[in-house]
């Protein structure tokens, strides 16, 4: 990682409470703030000195973050927030504001994009919110700020200048928020520079054992946006519903750079839905298949947009794992989610993918609207029936800005403590469940049912080929126990469901 000594813009990720950090070390791993790295690359390309402090991955204390800011002396600090991290981000902004009153504090990411105006009216710590795709808006903002000689007060008072910048929220003279028109989405993603990973502690981002087949495995996005409209999904809040694709050639150029700079052997595609455009996928696979590449990769997609030929082609090109959001084993519940998939498509997709020699992760949501514990057990049975390599179970979390959030009260009770919106803690209790505790027990039951089957454990043991496999298996086991211990801490004494 390149240590930057002075920069006009500093992005900072914020960490969890001590307890959360401890839990994450058991159950999770650090992941790169790719959005910030993309923004940093864009700013650097336009001559703006930029740094990133990934405080979360570097396990920096709040005081260390302030020391770093003291050292770098940025004019702008950029924070990004998903819903569950809004509280910690606000605390961080508050401590920066207290110590560095002249720094402009800008918030980006999904929570800001969802709440826009109300954020500024309720949280004085933030100066500006950038909603939507950040590159164009943030650069315009920084350039306008520089033109004001980095004078925060003068800049924030120039409402005429601020209103010319697309995709931002600022306060007018009375403190009311003003939302400017959305900045146009970047049409040609190939015009964007590659993520500024040299500003990140890349050695910290080792995926979980079931998430890689070879190391170093590096995260990358080949597209932005998703054309589907699932009722629970907040993905499109920032990037919209139109799928924009980088050219396969441009993606491969970035992979070449990752091989050269970080020795990448595997790519972890973070795209929302990798197989929407078959022509694009086929071209990408063609290039990746060529021997020169020697890259393995994994990605996420939907069960209704794969077929056996495509999967075989993906396997040939190095794909070793696919993540499918299956969500439920009950068709009526899927229909309520506007998922637009059939259970038979889930069965077929998992079978075809397994047959192609690609590992599968099937993800399910527990405590959906209309669900009862009996229906959840049916979903667990479905997960066992379709035989994915791994199954993820999360609790239903109605994120603000989604149809699920708007309609949640028709189907159950909703807790509005956003700090708990992390997909592990139940915040939504459908009428079919007694209380949160019953949901936590169901989550734990689902995980144990899937992973503690003798046939599953035996299958894993039979596949051990090397010491590396043993180490991976042990780390995976530790992760699972971490999950279960965490849900145990959340729940009551009985495990009966
Ligand atoms: C990759 C990913 C992850 C990764 C890594 C996250 C990371 N380190 O960044 C993993 C798998 C670890 C993960 C975990 C979780 N995730 Co996630 N994740 C995503 C995903 C698919 C892509 C994010 C991404 O990198 N996008 C690419 C970049 C280019 O886009 P971007 O980050 O939005 O950045 C742009 C703008 O937001 C803006 N911007 C970003 N930062 C900043 C900063 C400033 C200052 C400015 C001005 C602008 C700006 O500009 C950027 C470039 O245009 C999104 C869905 C999506 N499509 O966005 C969900 C998503 C962000 N995740 C979500 C959730 C809920 C979670 C979890 C809580 C779920 C869980 N329990 O597993 C955890 C929380 C982890 C955590 N604490 O960070 C939700 C958030 C919803 C919400 N409103 O809170 C999303 C939207 C998916 C969903 N369910 O709808 N996630
Ligand atoms: S859940 Fe997946 S398919 Fe559905 S809208 Fe979100 S990203 Fe698209």
Is the Cβ–Cβ distance between 117 and 22 less than 8 Å?
A: no
Return the residue whose CA atom lies nearest to atom 2 of ligand 2. Answer: 272
- For the CA of 211, the nearest ligand: 1
Span from the CA of 272 to the centroid of ligand 2 (angstroms): 6
Q: What is the mean pLDDT of residues 375-390?
A: 98
- Rounded Cα gap, residues 313 and 275, in angstroms: 12
Is the Cβ–Cβ distance between 492 and 452 less than 8 Å?
A: no
- Rounded Cα gap, residues 18 and 296, in angstroms: 36
Span from the CA of 300 to the centroid of ligand 1 (angstroms): 14
Q: Given the structure tokens 């790169």, which residue do they identify?
A: 32
Average pLDDT over the chain, rounded to an integer: 93
Q: Is a pLDDT exceeding 60 seen at residue 54?
A: yes
- Rounded Cα gap, residues 170 and 163, in angstroms: 8
Question: 13 CB less than 6 Å from ligand 1?
Answer: no
Q: What is the pLDDT of residue 280?
A: 98
- Rounded Cα gap, residues 144 and 121, in angstroms: 23
pLDDT, tens digit, 9 for 90 and up, residues 231-251: 999 988 899 899 999 999 999
- Rounded Cα gap, residues 43 and 46, in angstroms: 5
Q: What is the pLDDT of residue 5?
A: 81
Span from the CA of 115 to the centroid of ligand 2 (angstroms): 20
Q: What is the pLDDT of residue 21?
A: 63
Q: Is a pLDDT exceeding 80 seen at residue 70?
A: yes
Q: What is the mean pLDDT of residues 211-218?
A: 94
- pLDDT above 70 covers a percentage of the chain that reads 94
Mutate to test the pocket of ligand 2, among 325, 349, 401 (most ligand atoms within 8 A of CB): 325
Q: What is the mean pLDDT of residues 351-372?
A: 98
Is the Cβ–Cβ distance between 75 and 103 less than 8 Å?
A: yes
Span from the CA of 434 to the centroid of ligand 1 (angstroms): 32
Q: Is 101 left (phi over 0), alpha (psi -120 to 50) or beta?
A: alpha
The helix or strand, by DSSP H or E, that contains position 22, with its residue range, turns out to be: helix 18-27
Per-residue confidence band for 402, with pLDDT thresholds at 50, 70 and 90: very high
Q: Given the structure tokens 């495995």, which residue do they identify?
A: 217
What structural domains and CATH numbers belong to the chain? 9-179 (3.40.50.2300), 206-486 (3.80.30.20)
Q: Given the structure tokens 């229909």, which residue do they identify?
A: 335
Q: Is 408 left (phi over 0), alpha (psi -120 to 50) or beta?
A: alpha
- Segment 401-405 long-range contacts (CB within 8 Å, at least 24 positions apart): 401/110, 401/113, 401/114, 401/234, 401/237, 402/231, 402/232, 402/233, 402/234, 403/231, 403/232, 403/338, 404/231, 404/232, 404/337, 404/369
Return the residue whose CA atom lies nearest to atom 31 of ligand 1. Answer: 35
- For the CA of 394, the nearest ligand: 1
- Rounded Cα gap, residues 263 and 272, in angstroms: 25
Q: How far is CA 153 from the centre of its chain?
A: 34
pLDDT, tens digit, 9 for 90 and up, residues 294-305: 999 999 999 999
Is the Cβ–Cβ distance between 203 and 217 less than 8 Å?
A: no
Q: Is a pLDDT exceeding 50 seen at residue 496?
A: no
Structure tokens that stand for 21 in this block:
């950090």
- Rounded Cα gap, residues 426 and 438, in angstroms: 10
Instruction: Count the Cβ atoms, other than its own, within 10 Å of residue 140.
Output: 18
Question: 80 CB less than 6 Å from ligand 1?
Answer: yes
pLDDT, tens digit, 9 for 90 and up, residues 439-477: 999 999 999 999 998 888 888 888 887 877 787 777 777
Return the residue whose CA atom lies nearest to atom 26 of ligand 1. Answer: 35
Return the residue whose CA atom lies nearest to atom 7 of ligand 2. Answer: 272
pLDDT, tens digit, 9 for 90 and up, residues 157-178: 999 999 999 999 999 999 999 9
- Rounded Cα gap, residues 243 and 425, in angstroms: 31
Is the Cβ–Cβ distance between 11 and 53 less than 8 Å?
A: yes
Instruction: Count the Cβ atoms, other than its own, within 10 Å of residue 424.
Output: 19
Question: 34 CB less than 6 Å from ligand 1?
Answer: yes
- Rounded Cα gap, residues 295 and 314, in angstroms: 12
Q: What is the mean pLDDT of residues 76-88?
A: 94
Span from the CA of 226 to the centroid of ligand 2 (angstroms): 6
Per-residue confidence band for 380, with pLDDT thresholds at 50, 70 and 90: very high
- For the CA of 402, the nearest ligand: 1
Instruction: Report the relative pairing of strands 319-327 and 359-366 from DSSP bridges.
Output: parallel
Return the residue whose CA atom lies nearest to atom 20 of ligand 1. Answer: 270
Q: Which of 343, 319, 317, 339 is nearest to 331 (CA)?
A: 343
pTM of the predicted protein model: 0.94
- Rounded Cα gap, residues 252 and 137, in angstroms: 28
- Rounded Cα gap, residues 336 and 91, in angstroms: 37
Is the Cβ–Cβ distance between 406 and 364 less than 8 Å?
A: no
Q: Given the structure tokens 């950040």, which residue do they identify?
A: 134
pLDDT, tens digit, 9 for 90 and up, residues 4-22: 889 999 999 986 666 666 5
Residue 321 β-bridge partners: 298, 359
- For the CA of 238, the nearest ligand: 1
- For the CA of 305, the nearest ligand: 2
Question: 132 CB less than 6 Å from ligand 1?
Answer: no
Q: What is the pLDDT of residue 299?
A: 98
Q: Is a pLDDT exceeding 50 seen at residue 148?
A: yes
Burial code of 225-257, b = ≥16 C-beta within 10 A, e = fewer? bbebebbbbbbbbbbbeebebbebebbbebbee
Question: 271 CB less than 6 Å from ligand 1?
Answer: no
- Rounded Cα gap, residues 216 and 1, in angstroms: 15
Give, as one character, the DSSP assignment of residue 389.
S
Span from the CA of 307 to the centroid of ligand 2 (angstroms): 19
Q: Kindly give, in sequence order, each residue whose CB lies less than 8 Å from that of residue 174, ignoring residues fewer than 6 positions away.
A: none
Is the Cβ–Cβ distance between 234 and 114 less than 8 Å?
A: yes
Complete DSSP assignment for 426-474: --EEETTSS-HHHHHHHHHHHHHHHHT-HHHHHHHHHT--SHHHHHHHH
Q: What is the mean pLDDT of residues 182-211?
A: 95
Residue 365 β-bridge partners: 394
Span from the CA of 82 to the centroid of ligand 1 (angstroms): 6
**Which residues have C-beta atoms less than 6 Å from ligand 2?**
226, 228-230, 233, 235, 272-273, 302, 325
- For the CA of 56, the nearest ligand: 1
Q: What is the pLDDT of residue 266?
A: 98
SS3 category, 209:
helix
- Rounded Cα gap, residues 326 and 333, in angstroms: 11
- Rounded Cα gap, residues 169 and 179, in angstroms: 4
Per-residue confidence band for 273, with pLDDT thresholds at 50, 70 and 90: very high
Residue 168 β-bridge partners: 130
């Amino acid at each position: 990682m390149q240590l930057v000594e002075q920069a006009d813009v500093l992005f900072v990720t914020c960490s969890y409470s001590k307890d959360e950090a401890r839990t994450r070390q058991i159950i999770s791993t650090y992941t790169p703030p790719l959005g910030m790295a993309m923004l940093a690359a864009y700013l650097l390309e336009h001559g703006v000195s930029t740094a990133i402090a990934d405080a979360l991955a570097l396990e920096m204390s709040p005081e260390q973050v302030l020391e770093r800011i003291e050292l770098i002396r940025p004019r702008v600090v950029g924070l990004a927030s998903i819903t569950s991290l809004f509280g910690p981000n606000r605390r961080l902004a508050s401590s920066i504001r207290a110590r560095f009153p002249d720094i402009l504090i800008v918030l980006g990411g999904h929570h800001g994009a969802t709440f826009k105006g109300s954020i500024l009216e309720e949280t004085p710590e933030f100066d500006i919110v950038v909603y939507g795709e950040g590159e164009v808006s943030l650069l315009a903002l920084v350039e306008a700020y520089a033109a004001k000689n980095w004078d925060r007060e003068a800049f924030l008072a120039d409402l005429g200048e601020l209103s010319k910048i697309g995709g931002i929220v600022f306060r007018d003279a009375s403190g009311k928020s003003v939302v400017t028109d959305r900045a146009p989405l970047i049409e040609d993603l190939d015009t964007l520079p590659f993520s500024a990973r040299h500003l990140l502690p890349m050695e910290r981002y080792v995926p979980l054992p079931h998430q890689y087949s070879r190391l170093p495995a590096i995260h990358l996005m080949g597209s932005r946006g998703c054309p589907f409209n699932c009722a629970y999904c907040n993905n499109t809040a920032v990037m919209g519903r139109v799928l924009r694709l980088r050219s396969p050639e441009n993606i491969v150029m970035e992979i070449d750079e990752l091989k050269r700079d970080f020795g990448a052997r595997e790519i972890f595609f973070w795209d929302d839905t990798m197989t929407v455009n078959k022509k694009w996928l086929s071209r990408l696979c063609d290039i990746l298949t060529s021997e020169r590449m020697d890259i393995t990769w994994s990605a996420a997609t939907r069960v209704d947009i794969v077929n056996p030929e495509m999967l075989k082609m993906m396997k040939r090109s190095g794909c070793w794992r696919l993540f499918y959001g299956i969500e439920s084993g009950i068709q009526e519940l899927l229909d309520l989610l506007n998922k637009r998939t059939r259970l038979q498509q889930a069965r077929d997709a998992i079978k075809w993918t397994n047959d192609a020699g690609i590992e599968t992760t099937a993800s399910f949501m527990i405590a959906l609207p209309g669900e009862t514990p009996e229906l959840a057990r049916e979903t667990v049975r479905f997960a066992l029936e379709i035989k994915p390599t791994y199954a993820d179970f999360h609790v239903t979390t109605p994120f603000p800005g989604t149809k699920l959030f708007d309609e949640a009260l028709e189907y159950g009770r909703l807790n509005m403590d956003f700090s708990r919106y992390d997909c592990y803690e139940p915040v939504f209790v459908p009428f079919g469940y007694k209380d949160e505790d019953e949901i936590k027990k169901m989550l734990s039951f689902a995980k144990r049912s899937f992973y503690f089957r003798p046939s599953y454990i035996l299958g894993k043991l039979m596949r051990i080929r090397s010491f590396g496999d043993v180490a991976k298996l042990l780390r995976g086991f530790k992760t699972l126990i971490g999950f279960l211990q965490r849900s145990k801490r959340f729940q009551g004494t009985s495990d009966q469901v």
